[in-house]
């Protein structure tokens, strides 16, 4: 099963992703985690990425696509792509790579949470990029650059919207009901 997880910052993707990969035995690829590791290691990619991440902007497509392509081979038995793609260009690059592997996406989960709730959740989290100004920019980046993916994957017929309000357990229950259809 190959799954993409889309949703605005603060929607709770990280928490739900942990549950999903444990239960469905999927390779978890979070580009946010991979980029934070690169920043911590001060690798060339990390040094480049940090400039964007610290301001709340998206890291350039070619940098992120490179990070993902390098690791997709670890995903033989299925994967959860978490925080990738985040632009139409990334989605097109992903489609191309997966088509070459004869391994198209099965489903795209959109975790939907209203914006006022996101701001509350992010402001209480305390990550380096969770400062109010940076949060605002990340939400704008989501709306302008990532949300168009909803239309892209709806057109492809693989988008499933998940209500992201409720307890962690309630939301996971909704996710599981959808993923069980693709097992």
By CB under 6 A, name the one of 12, 50, 84, 110 that touches ligand AMP.
84
Site membership for ligand AMP, residue 32 (CB under 6 A): yes
Closest to ligand AMP by CB, 35 vs 159, is: 35
Site membership for ligand AMP, residue 138 (CB under 6 A): yes
Q: How far is the CB of 181 from ligand AMP (least distance, A)?
A: 26
By CB under 6 A, name the one of 29, 31, 72, 171 that touches ligand AMP.
31
C-alpha torsion sign, points 162, 28, 152, 113: positive
Closest to ligand AMP by CB, 34 vs 159, is: 34
Site membership for ligand AMP, residue 86 (CB under 6 A): yes
Residues 6/109, Cβ–Cβ less than 8 Å: yes
Q: How far is the CB of 119 from ligand AMP (least distance, A)?
A: 14
Q: How far is the CB of 100 from ligand AMP (least distance, A)?
A: 20
Q: How far is the CB of 31 from ligand AMP (least distance, A)?
A: 3
Site membership for ligand AMP, residue 58 (CB under 6 A): yes
Q: HEC string of the chain?
A: CEEEEECCCCCCHHHHHHHHHHHHCCEEEEHHHHHHHHHHHCCHHHHHHHHHHCCCCCCCHHHHHHHHHHHHCCCCCCEEEECCCCCHHHHHHHHHHHHHCCCCCCEEEEEECCHHHHHHHHHCCCCCCCCHHHHHHHHHHHHHHHCHHHHHHHHCCCEEEEECCCCHHHHHHHHHHHHCCCC
By CB under 6 A, name the one of 21, 45, 53, 111 that touches ligand AMP.
53
Site membership for ligand AMP, residue 35 (CB under 6 A): yes
List contacts with ligand AMP (CB under 6 A).
9, 31-32, 35, 52-53, 56, 58-59, 64, 83-86, 90, 129, 138
């Amino acid at each position: 099963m190959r799954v993409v997880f889309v949703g605005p910052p603060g929607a709770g993707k990280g928490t739900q992703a942990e549950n999903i990969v444990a239960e469905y035995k999927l390779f978890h690829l979070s580009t946010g985690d991979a980029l934070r590791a690169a920043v911590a290691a001060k690798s060339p990619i990390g040094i480049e990425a940090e400039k964007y991440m610290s301001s709340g902007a998206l890291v350039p497509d070619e940098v992120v696509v490179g990070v993902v392509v390098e690791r997709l081979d670890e995903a033989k038995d299925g994967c959860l792509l978490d925080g990738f793609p985040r632009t139409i260009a990334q989605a097109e690059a992903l489609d191309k790579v997966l088509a070459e592997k004869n391994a198209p996406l099965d489903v795209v989960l959109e975790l939907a949470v209203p914006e006022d709730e996101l701001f509350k959740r992010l402001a209480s989290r305390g990550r380096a990029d969770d400062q109010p100004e940076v949060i605002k920019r990340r939400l704008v980046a989501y709306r302008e650059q990532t949300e168009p993916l909803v239309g892209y994957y709806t057109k492809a017929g693989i988008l499933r919207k998940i209500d992201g309000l409720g307890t962690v357990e309630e939301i996971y229950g909704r996710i599981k009901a959808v993923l069980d259809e693709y097992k």
